[in-house]
DNA sequence: TTGTTTTATGAAATCAGTTTCATAACCATC
DNA sequence: GATGGTTATGAAACTGATTTCATAAAACAA
């Protein structure tokens, strides 16, 4: 591997001058500049990122933490983030938290040890204070998930409205006994709380109380959905509709319902969330809430790059809108 | 950020001794060792990876390149790779090639500039010579995709057998007019060629010739599948079965067939590949070929770590077996 | 008691860049 | 002709670790 000294030697210049050429400093004669470019080309020289980082330079890497990449919502989100990052000459270091605090901490330390310039967090496991303590090492951005009391910038969709229009749709169709499925364990903050609020508001509009037996927490996967359906099947008083936290849960509910001989939506209307490819694929096709994933990714990277360049943000809290996609499951 | 000098100062020792403690060198008194640990703890000290890398140390990062992360096969593979890597104290730098040569080159350069210790390539865009020229910067491993003439180690499934048992299954069910769908553009090497061979062999066993009108190349997505189905629908002589390159293509075929009023498998038997979650989800459920993704990931990381530690490999070419999963689409 | 290992530690070099400080030539201004 | 700003470049310091070389004390052998 050629080093900057090799380039300096070949051109008869000093390392300092070569470095200036590389970094586009002013006051370099055109003549020397071209000499350096030529030598770099000939030697196949590429600056060593570790050495640059050591001098406090940027790494041109942003970290993205997701709960699980196999969840299509997040793989599409990472896809979008990576595309935009690449266009801006940034790499993405992807990391799964697996919903574990220690993995998230390991990840946050990448910022501390300057392995990434900034972080995009699409999941939050640790306490607010812990995460905020890392902001002194570099910019952090919440994407999708967030903490309401935090000063950390956020890009997210209006989850409360999303849940509201979803639930309202079920109510408009005449369903009154609505079950509710959420991903959160403790729904005391962030997107799950917002969804809760939207759901409650819609019910309140119709003077309906939530039946706590019909509330399922910490559900994420297809298997979780199947499990929920089995629980419902075993109930004396069954709901006539279910609002789920993701298309995957909804798909699980439908699959299990079918194997139990139930009809969707006649016996149970099912509402998804995300509008993943499976929403169209499953029979009956899922009514669901479409999230602007590509847009979230684009805006998130843009905002983070702004923070990295110390440019001002027009808003610290960017809220995107969602759309109801009506298909056959409701 | 605390540095090694801070730790040295606090303990009254030299940087050299502190470094020795960190790296478990011999000949350190228990007393000093504990002193250093205590100081590191108190200062929240963490070694700066850039500085370590600069001294030629390993980065504890492996790079993984995939064509597209939104393809569930690859998101499951990356998931597996990341899990195993994390258990071994390694991070994963994930990268999408988007099937573009220049993105792949950019990625290969991460190895050259020592940003990753080794690479796992699950897609190959550039010529053999190009990729092999990078092996002098660090170990490269092919996972899933590969080049037959190359010296680069490979972890893959027996694609030829996979296609053979899949096609044989169709033949056993009595289908004789079998269409074929592949991902490759030029099927002249690697996994697509192997599948080809397996497909041909199965047909040869029954003295059937391939109808080239029924061969579709460069197909990957659900949309591609729909497109294929539309093409088939427009044919005078239609196939009675189709062997596809992924469950997604198969799902697209089924969805489009249904919307065209065709019955699966009566009008067209559909064979998937991968056994993704959607295989179970779609109606009719897909007959498909299950790939041992988790195992591929585990073995790949193990092999790469061996290469990194200069340990010998028991085999340079690890081949895993696949299984036929029979459901209702055939 | 002397000589040789073994154990334990530190000073300084090293990795490959960037940045500070110094300097010199050139041009303009008073 | 002295002063001052702009342009252009290099020597050396610096980033934060690891490693080599040197050295001294302790342990062991002759």
Identify residues of A whose CB sits under 8 angstroms from chain B CBs: 1, 46-51, 53-54, 68-70, 72, 75-76, 78-79, 82-83, 86, 91-96, 103, 109-110, 112-115, 137, 222, 248, 251, 255, 277-278, 280-283
In a domain, B53, yes or no: no
Number of compact structural domains in chain A:
3
Does residue A47 approach strand C to less than 7 Å at its CB?
yes
Let me know whether A153 and A163 are in one domain: no
Residue to test with chain A: of B70, B255, B272, most A Cβ within 10 A: B70
Rounded percentage of chain A residues whose pLDDT exceeds 90: 73
Do B97 and B67 contact (CB within 8 A), yes or no?
Answer: yes
Let me know whether B138 and B88 are in one domain: yes
What is the predicted pLDDT for the residue at A240?
94
How far apart are the C-alpha atoms of B151 and B132, rounded to whole Å? 8
Question: What is Dmax (Cα atoms) for chain A?
Answer: 87
Let me know whether B95 and B147 are in one domain: yes
User: Where is pLDDT greater, at A329 or B185?
Assistant: A329
Let me know whether B273 and B298 are in one domain: no
Does residue A5 approach strand C to less than 7 Å at its CB?
yes
Do A225 and A251 contact (CB within 8 A), yes or no?
Answer: yes
Listed as ranges, residues in chain B with pLDDT below 50 are none
Let me know whether B68 and B185 are in one domain: no
Cis peptide before B325 (omega within 30 of 0): no
Do A280 and A308 contact (CB within 8 A), yes or no?
Answer: no
Cβ <8 Å between A95 and B92 = yes
Let me know whether A298 and A276 are in one domain: no
Closest residue in chain A to residue B87, using alpha carbons only: A103
Contacts of A299 (CB under 8 A, 6+ apart): A155, A318, A320
Does residue A227 approach strand D to less than 7 Å at its CB?
no
Cα dist from A8 to A70, B75, B264, whole Å: 48, 44, 69
Closest residue in chain A to residue B223, using alpha carbons only: A277
Q: Which of residues 177-196 of B touch strand C (CB under 7 A)?
A: none
Tens of pLDDT, residue by residue over B93-111, are 888 998 899 889 988 988 8
Do B120 and B81 contact (CB within 8 A), yes or no?
Answer: yes
Among B69, B86, B114, whose Cβ lies nearest the Cβ of A69? B69
Let me know whether B89 and B71 are in one domain: yes
Closest CA to A316 of A72, A83, A68, A147: A147
Residue to test with chain A: of B281, B328, B329, most A Cβ within 10 A: B281
Let me know whether B116 and B207 are in one domain: no
Tens of pLDDT, residue by residue over A225-256, are 999 999 999 999 999 999 999 999 999 999 99
Residue to test with chain B: of A107, A277, A283, most B Cβ within 10 A: A277
In a domain, A164, yes or no: yes
Let me know whether B186 and B240 are in one domain: yes
Tens of pLDDT, residue by residue over A28-60, are 999 999 999 999 999 999 999 899 999 877 778
Task: Kindly state the average pLDDT of the residues A216-221.
Answer: 91
Let me know whether A227 and A278 are in one domain: yes
Q: Is the pLDDT of residue A303 over 80?
A: yes
Q: Is the pLDDT of residue A187 over 60?
A: no
What CATH number did the domain enclosing A14 receive?
Answer: 1.10.260.40
In a domain, A55, yes or no: no
Collect all residues of chain B within an 8 Å Cβ-Cβ radius of residue A92. 94-95
* Residue B70: burial class (beta carbons within 10 Å; 0-12, 13-18, 19+): buried
Let me know whether A153 and A167 are in one domain: no
Q: At what angle do helices A72-87 and A293-308 cross, to 10 degrees?
A: 40
Please, how many CA atoms are within 13 Å of residue B203, restricted to the half-sphere of its CB? 19
Collect all residues of chain B within an 8 Å Cβ-Cβ radius of residue A70. 72, 75-76, 79
In a domain, A263, yes or no: yes
In a domain, B330, yes or no: no
User: Where is pLDDT greater, at B45 or A89?
Assistant: B45
Task: Kindly state the average pLDDT of the residues A58-65.
Answer: 87
What is the predicted pLDDT for the residue at B89?
85
Cβ <8 Å between A278 and B281 = yes
Tens of pLDDT, residue by residue over B252-288, are 999 999 999 999 999 999 999 999 989 988 989 999 9
Range of the structural domain that residue B149 is part of? 61-157+293-320
In a domain, B166, yes or no: yes
In a domain, A330, yes or no: no
What CATH number did the domain enclosing B140 receive?
Answer: 3.40.50.2300
Cβ <8 Å between A76 and B86 = no
Q: Is the pLDDT of residue A321 over 60?
A: yes
Let me know whether A200 and A237 are in one domain: yes
What is the predicted pLDDT for the residue at A266?
94
Does residue A49 approach strand C to less than 7 Å at its CB?
no
């Amino acid at each position: 591997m050629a080093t900057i000294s090799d380039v300096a030697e070949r051109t008869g210049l000093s390392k300092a001058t070569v470095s200036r050429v590389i970094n586009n400093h002013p006051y370099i004669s055109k003549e020397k500049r071209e000499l350096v470019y030529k030598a770099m080309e000939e030697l196949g020289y590429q600056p060593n990122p570790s050495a640059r980082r050591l001098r406090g330079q940027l790494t041109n890497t942003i970290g993205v933490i997701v709960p699980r990449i196999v969840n299509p919502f997040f793989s599409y989100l990472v896809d979008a983030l990576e595309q935009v990052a690449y266009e801006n000459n940034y790499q993405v270091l992807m990391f799964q938290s697996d919903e574990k605090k220690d993995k998230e901490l390991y990840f946050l330390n990448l910022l501390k040890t300057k392995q990434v310039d900034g972080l995009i967090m699409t999941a939050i496991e640790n306490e607010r204070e812990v995460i905020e303590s890392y902001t002194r090492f570099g910019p952090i951005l919440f994407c999708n998930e967030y903490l309401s009391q935090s000063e950390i910038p956020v890009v997210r969709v209006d989850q409360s409205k999303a849940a509201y229009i979803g639930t309202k749709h079920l109510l408009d169709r005449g369903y009154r006994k609505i079950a509710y499925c959420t991903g959160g364990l403790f729904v005391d903050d962030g997107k799950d709380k917002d969804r809760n609020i939207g759901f409650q508001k819609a019910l309140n509009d119709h003077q309906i109380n939530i039946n706590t037996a019909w509330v399922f927490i910490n559900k994420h996967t297809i298997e979780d959905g199947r499990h929920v359906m089995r629980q419902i099947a075993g109930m004396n008083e069954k709901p006539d509709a279910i609002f789920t936290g993701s298309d995957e849960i909804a798909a699980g509910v439908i699959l299990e319902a079918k194997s139990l001989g139930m009809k969707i939506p006649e016996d149970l209307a099912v509402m998804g969330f995300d509008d993943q490819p499976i929403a169209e694929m499953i029979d009956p096709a899922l009514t669901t809430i479409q999230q602007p994933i590509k847009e979230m990714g684009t805006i998130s990277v843009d905002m983070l790059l702004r923070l990295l360049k110390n440019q001002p943000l027009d808003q610290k809290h960017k809220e995107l809108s969602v759309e109801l996609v009506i298909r056959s499951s409701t």
